[in-house]
Amino acid sequence: MSDAFDTVFVRGLKADAVIGVYEWERHIRQTLVIDLEMRFCIRAAAASDALDDTLDYHAVSTRVKEMVEANTLQLIEGLAEAIAATLIAEFGIRWLRLRLAKPGAVPWADDVGVLIERSAQ
């Protein structure tokens, strides 16, 4: 295993979800904003210039968007955990930091949400 500590990131990924604990929230879609920092050694990609050798941030973004749009959970905490576990399992990510924000949930705040860090076992 490499000793490199490279980070691939995605910031401001937006996706609409049915999420929330209030009855009215179960009948609308709300935009969530996701920021990701993912530990992935990019040395092979730097040497080969081949997409197959790196973490494809387009594929990661597409997968996250699919998960958010298909969400049936009420709490963003559960959605954040599900996204993190899926990305680690499907993309070989060693570590990630995921920020999931729900703008507008608290009218007097820009946004609220959770920030989690998870590692591959």
Give catalytic residue positions.
102
Whether residue 72 contacts residue 17, with contact meaning beta carbons closer than 8 Å, is answered with no
Burial class of residue 19 (count of CB atoms within 10 Å of its CB; 0-12, 13-18, 19+): buried
On whether the CB atoms of residues 96 and 38 are closer than 8 A, the answer is yes
Distance CA 47, CA 104 (A): 44
Is there a contact between 60 and 7 (Cβ–Cβ < 8 Å)?
no
Backbone angles phi, psi at 55, to 5 degrees: -90, 115
Cα–Cα distance for residue pair 94/71, rounded to 1 Å = 24
